[in-house]
A = this chain, B = another copy of it.
Amino acid sequence: MADANVRRRTFETVEPIRETITTSRAERASAVEIGLNAAIVAVIDNEPVVLAVRDSADQNGNLEGLPFGPFSPVDHRTLEGGLRSWVTRQTGLELGYTEQLYSFGDRGRHAEAGDATPHVVSIGYLALTHPSSAAAISSSAWRSWYQFFPWEDWRKGRPALLAAHIEPRLKEWAERPQRSASPAHPLQRADRVRICFGLDGAAWDEEKVLERFELLYEAGLVDEAQRDGREAGAIVTSLPRLGTPLRFDHRRILATAMSRVRAKIKYRPVIFELMPPDFTLFELQKTVEAILGPHLHKQNFRRLVESAGLVEPTGEVKSQTGGRPAKLFRFRREVLLERPAPGVRVKPGRA
């Protein structure tokens, strides 16, 4: 399991699948590979990070990607089991909290540059961890997730990138002639831009990470779009790239992971998966803020967390906080056995 050397694999069909269904059309099942992909998230020094790996055999500009590998039903009894196995091999990490995100199968979105990989369905997973338990190996590295999505970084206010580059280009895209709204996207382009990016008085919803990325992809503003052979081109090429691209469809999977985490900490106590065993309430708050972005009201945050019974004092205190020593707390695991299994249901306050 320690061998993380990812080399080339030969695809073998095992046996013809038992006949099940016939159709009158020429619809046939062809071989599909299932890719298992992990967005492994942690918070280090108040910075939300994700574990990225570099494929030593990769020739395509040496992009980084998420840990991943094909699902092998012979070796893996479950999808998640297969994922854990691949992650351990590639990063040395034993995953803790893990949940499935989504399965992506759009034709052409799993390509590498100039690649014609036939058919891969990517199943994305989110894993949360605390780096104390993480012994990442050399070919993997923690990267700030804002490196891939700079427009999501609102810790210092609205990113200038939005007004300077993204909004004008999206507006131009929205105004291009287009067919009527498709069933998958019932809204018009301009409305989608407004809602996703909080323009014209609409609020910025920090959970819409995936929707924003998909919009930028459709508009041809991220590198992956050009790699996949989508339109855009000319106008865009000379302008600065938006965020660091990842291999295959991994940036889309990471966007899904960010959306999920940002939504989930509000109604399930998953934030504690990112914390060490003991922590101060302010450290907890900083971790929440690292994930969500904006600043929270300190006193109200304390009240919320304590009154919900999410934590209990350890009895110890922590000095060196720069002021009065802070009480240390630990996660009250018993809340999982109690009624509504609450999260840290916070709303972002003003800065």
Contacts and interface: CB of A to CB of B under 8 A. Distances in A.
Interface of A: 3, 5-34, 69-80, 85, 89, 96, 100, 102-107, 116-119, 121, 123, 183-184, 186-187, 191, 194-195, 202-203, 205, 336-340
Contacts of A23: 6-7, 9, 69, 89
Which 6 interchain pairs have the tightest Cβ spacing? A73-B119, A7-B22, A14-B30, A9-B22, A79-B105, A11-B17
Contacts of A22: 6-10
A154 to B, nearest CB: 17
Nearest to A191: B337
A150 to B, nearest CB: 25
A17 B118 CA distance: 6
A72 B194 contact: no
A24 B5 contact: yes
A252 to B, nearest CB: 13
A82 B12 CA distance: 25
Contact of A184 (B10, B80, B85, B106): B80
A8 B24 CA distance: 10
A117 B34 contact: no
A14 B74 CA distance: 20
A29 B11 contact: yes
A79 B338 CA distance: 38
A29 B9 contact: yes
B337 A29 contact: no
11 contacts: A5-B24, A8-B22, A9-B19, A12-B30, A15-B30, A18-B118, A21-B70, A23-B69, A25-B75, A77-B106, A78-B106
Nearest to A333: B186
Given A71-B32, A106-B78, A16 B21 contact: no
Given A72-B27, A103-B100, A11 B16 contact: yes
Nearest to A75: B27
A75 B27 CA distance: 6
A7 B30 contact: no
A246 B151 CA distance: 46
Nearest to A55: B21
A119 B203 CA distance: 45
A91 B103 CA distance: 25
Q: Which of A5, A21, A121, A203 has the most CB of B within 10 A?
A: A21
